[in-house]
Amino acid sequence: MAKLVNRIQPDLVQQSYVVEIAKGLAITSRAFVRNLFGKKDIVTVQYPEQKVPYAPRFRGKHLLTKRDDGQVRCVACMLCATACPANCITIVAAEHDDRGIEKYPTQFEIDLLKCIYCGFCEEACPCDAIRMDSGVHTLPSYTRRDQKTGKVDLLALAKLSTASQGGEFRATDHEGTAHGRSSHH
Ligand code: SF4
Ligand code: SF4
């Protein structure tokens, strides 16, 4: 059933808009003066001078971890690139001199414009070689090219892996110092 709505007919004063505009300007002016001298109502963060602290569970953009000897830990198995739903990881593999390592990435690139930060890559990695716990926010850039982060950038954020060389996890103390076996396969 149709519902009748009583429409309020504006009187002549309301139709002139003068009073309503004056009321609106009064509200705007009051807020302006309060914010100018009292800063009571400002909710805008003056980024980049002011930064809101990240939540403790924020993890950050990707990094590649290193072996105990400082080499890249990744063995270019392509599992992360295969698991990536955004298809944004490009890896070029090469033979390693160390026959125990077999392969390593000569090129490792992530297109952060395509990345959806799902974490599948670090979940898929069998070597704890790629992680997303850098604590670094992905910054904006002027070009698309600048959003492609390569091996050098990923290693610049590198941490020593908490896994031993063969992939087993080591116990860590409160300072994050790794203990335990350092098997070199
Ligand atoms: S976080 Fe997800 S989308 Fe981004 S590189 Fe890893 S798997 Fe791909
Ligand atoms: S980061 Fe991990 S999953 Fe990706 S290619 Fe390297 S070893 Fe394989």
For 21-79, strand residue ranges (E) read 63-64
pLDDT digits (tens, 9 = 90+) for 154-178: 999 987 776 765 555 555 543 444 3
pLDDT digits (tens, 9 = 90+) for 104-161: 999 999 999 999 999 999 999 998 999 998 988 888 899 999 999 999 999 999 877 7
Q: pTM for the complete prediction?
A: 0.69
Closest ligand to the CA of 124:
2
Ligand 1 pocket residue status of 116, Cβ below 6 Å? yes
- Contact between 178 and 170 under an 8 Å Cβ cutoff? The reply is yes
Q: Which residues line ligand 2 (CB under 6 A)?
A: 74-80, 91, 124-125, 127, 129-130
The atom number, within ligand 2, closest to the CA of 91 reads: 5
Residue 176, pLDDT score = 41
pLDDT digits (tens, 9 = 90+) for 52-77: 888 888 889 999 999 888 889 999 99
The CA–CA distances, whole Å, from 174 to 19, 63, 67, 83, 177 equal: 66, 22, 21, 32, 7
Preceding omega of 140 cis (within 30 degrees of 0): no
Nearest CA to ligand 2 atom 2: 125
Strands of the sheet containing 103-111, edge to edge, are 89-95, 103-111, 148-149
